[in-house]
Amino acid sequence: MRGGLSKTLALVGAAGLLAVSACGNSDNSGGSGGGSSASKDVTVFTWWADGGEKAGLDGMVSVFQNDCKDYKFVNSAVAGGAGSNAKQVLANDLQAGKPPSTFQAHAGAELSDYINAGQVDDISDLYKEFGLDKAFPQNLIDNLTIDGKIYSIPANVHRANMVWTNPSVLKKASLDAATAPASVDAWIADMDKLKAAGVKAPLAISKGFAQEMVMEVVLLAELGPDSFKGLWDGKTDWAGANVTSALNKYKKLLTYTNTDREAVDWPDALGYLNKGQAAYFVMGDWVAAQQLADKVPDTAYTYWPAPGTAGNFQFLSDSFVLPTNGPDPDGTKCWLKTVGSADGQKAFNTKKGSIPARSDANPADYPKYQQSAMADWKKDKIVPSCAHGAACTLGQNNDILSALSQFSGSQDIAKLQSALGTAMKTS
């Protein structure tokens, strides 16, 4: 009996241990496929799971398999708009000390969460090794540098300060779709004309970050690029009178928008534009890829930089990092080399609808919109986007989105302004 009892105890104990270790494994399996470094797997964590994004990633992978024959690409994508789900999964893996070989992150301030947590390595040396310090515009490198160090290699560049228009709706108020209004005030005057012509909600908008993007282009137009950049690095005072006046214009713009703004996503809002219910839509240039995918003809829409922001290129960028204590740094470096290379960027961006971060790309390889964006990328002043992580950390962005959703209902400017200031003071 005694032996039987202790045997049973041992069995039960072993079963308990097994259960514990099984849980541990399943928790980490999302990102630690590269744990078996003997097979030379390179686990790449992204939120590019379908559409043009997936096609772009596939293009990059085929270049990688060619350049880095020793390694095997392992896709570890988590679906979900702008990485909302992926970031949670990634945070778990990083917390558990099991990083993937490399992961996607918005270039710029959003990386500082990972930097502060000691989860990504400085890769300034790789820039020299791969010749990226010459291939990327100095302007971009300045925006990527944090305390003299660079932590990621951008795969692409998107432009945030774009307005998409519906010419046939603008015609109702005899407005020219080809030229942008010179300022936010002129834009508001045009919207009054559209309202008088029977367009009830001239400015299409959706929830969350789309509202943040409208606020950002108004701030950029009203404050100018230098003060605008200062809002994010602490040099410009959020409590200033110029911010108040800009926010009042943002409030005015909201009165021209669809009333269901809190309930729809950006593809719905783009639908309002394409169906002729709205005349304008403020959104990043992934709209161009979406319109191509939806087979909306070139003639059905025009685009220009948001009023008052011409000459400024508000950028955001997807980039890849070298995680601290990753499974196989050499494999990761080979992936990063592909990401920064001319071939890799071409294979990726022609499909994703973005433009390459390198300035030596050939515009003829790209569709019509990207050609104009590439020209602007070379000559414009580059300013960052908060909504897409170039200027703000995840936490700051989260607080700003919360403040904007509160404002969408309450319309209280003073409260919004102080909430924005507070959001940027926290990290």
Shortest approach of other proteins to residue 309 CB, angstroms?
25
Q: From CA 419, how far away is CA 413, in angstroms rounded? A: 10
Which residue number, 83 or 353, has a Cβ lying nearer to other proteins?
83
Q: Is 8 one of the binding residues for other proteins (CB under 8 A)?
A: yes
Shortest approach of other proteins to residue 87 CB, angstroms?
6
Shortest approach of other proteins to residue 121 CB, angstroms?
15
Shortest approach of other proteins to residue 264 CB, angstroms?
8
Binding letters toward other proteins, positions 19-48, x by CB under 8 A = xx----------------------------
Binding letters toward other proteins, positions 229-258, x by CB under 8 A = -----------------------------x
Measured over the CA atoms of residue 235, residue 238, residue 244 and residue 248, the dihedral's sign is positive
Which residue number, 1 or 38, has a Cβ lying nearer to other proteins?
1
C-beta of residue 76 within 8 angstroms of C-beta of residue 43:
yes
Which amino acid, 241? Answer: A
Of the candidates 269, 245, 268, the residue with the CA atom closest to the CA atom of residue 256: 269
Which residue number, 128 or 200, has a Cβ lying nearer to other proteins?
200
- Alpha carbon distance, N-terminus to C-terminus of the chain: 62
Which residue number, 96 or 310, has a Cβ lying nearer to other proteins?
96
Q: Which residues pair with 45 in a beta bridge?
A: 76, 103
Compute the chain's Rg from CA coordinates.
24
CB atoms within 10 A of CB 271: 16
Which residue number, 68 or 213, has a Cβ lying nearer to other proteins?
213
Please identify which residue in 51, 230, 395, 421 interacts with other proteins, judged by CB under 8 A: 395
Measured over the CA atoms of residue 337, residue 343, residue 349 and residue 352, the dihedral's sign is negative
Shortest approach of other proteins to residue 427 CB, angstroms?
8
Q: Which residues pair with 303 in a beta bridge?
A: 164
Shortest approach of other proteins to residue 166 CB, angstroms?
16
Shortest approach of other proteins to residue 278 CB, angstroms?
11
CA 381, 382, 388 angle in degrees (round to 5)?
150
Which residue number, 217 or 403, has a Cβ lying nearer to other proteins?
403
Q: Contacts with other proteins in 73-112 (CB under 8 A)?
A: 84, 87-88, 91, 94-95, 97
Shortest approach of other proteins to residue 191 CB, angstroms?
18
Q: Is 119 one of the binding residues for other proteins (CB under 8 A)?
A: yes
Q: Contacts with other proteins in 196-215 (CB under 8 A)?
A: 200, 207-208
Q: Which letter does DSSP use for residue 157 in this model?
A: B
Q: Contacts with other proteins in 363-382 (CB under 8 A)?
A: none
C-beta of residue 173 within 8 angstroms of C-beta of residue 199:
yes
Q: From CA 359, how far away is CA 137, in angstroms rounded? A: 6
Which residue number, 42 or 204, has a Cβ lying nearer to other proteins?
204
Shortest approach of other proteins to residue 369 CB, angstroms?
28
Please identify which residue in 29, 168, 255, 398 interacts with other proteins, judged by CB under 8 A: 398
Burial 24-37 (b: 16+ CB within 10 A, else e): eeeebebbbbbeee
Count of residues binding other proteins (CB under 8 A)?
Answer: 44
Of the candidates 58, 355, 287, the residue with the CA atom closest to the CA atom of residue 363: 355
Q: Which letter does DSSP use for residue 306 in this model?
A: P
Query: For residue 3, what is the enclosing H or E element?
Result: helix 2-28
Which SS3 state, helix, strand or coil, does residue 133 take? helix
Shortest approach of other proteins to residue 45 CB, angstroms?
16
Q: Is 405 one of the binding residues for other proteins (CB under 8 A)?
A: yes
Measured over the CA atoms of residue 220, residue 225, residue 229 and residue 231, the dihedral's sign is negative
Token pair of 416 as six digits: 């919004």
Residues that bind other proteins (CB under 8 A): 1-2, 5, 8-9, 12, 15-16, 19-20, 84, 87-88, 91, 94-95, 97, 113-114, 116-119, 200, 207-208, 258-260, 262-264, 277, 393-395, 398, 401-403, 405-406, 408-409
